[in-house]
Structures are given as C-alpha cells and as structure tokens.
Amino acid sequence: MENNEIKTENGYDLGTFNFLKTGWWIWHVIAIAAVFYIGYLFGGNVF
C-alpha cells in the first residue's frame, strides 16, 4: 500500500491538489443538486 500522508506539526498536510480528489467532487455535486432542489421546492413561495 502506498503511503502519501505527510504529517506536520499542525496535523496532516493535504497537499496542493488533494481537494480535487473524487470525494470533493461527489460532495459538491450533491450539495449543488440539493441547492437546486430546494430552489425548485421553495421558488414559488419567494416570488
């Protein structure tokens, strides 16, 4: 198994582009879909 974790004084260093991994994309797709769904549900009540 490959060990890419870098331990620093303040905790784990996530690296420069670590935020572009799969979990980041999945979380944001779900969050954006949820925002649009909530807008769809409550959009008529606002206007």
User: Tell me: the pLDDT tens digits for 2-38?
Assistant: 566 666 666 666 666 666 777 888 999 999 999 999 9
Task: Please give the pLDDT value at position 9.
Answer: 66
Q: Answer with the residue of higher pLDDT: 43 or 16.
A: 43
Task: Please give the pLDDT value at position 34.
Answer: 97
Task: Please give the pLDDT value at position 15.
Answer: 67
Task: Please give the pLDDT value at position 22.
Answer: 79
Task: Please give the pLDDT value at position 23.
Answer: 80
Question: Would you put residue 5 in left (φ > 0), alpha (ψ -120 to 50) or beta?
Answer: beta
| CA neighbours closer than 13 Å in the CB half-sphere of residue 8 | 6
Domains of the chain: which residue ranges? Answer: 18-47
pTM flag (> 0.75): no
Instruction: Work out whether the CA dihedral 39, 42, 45, 46 comes out positive or negative.
Output: negative
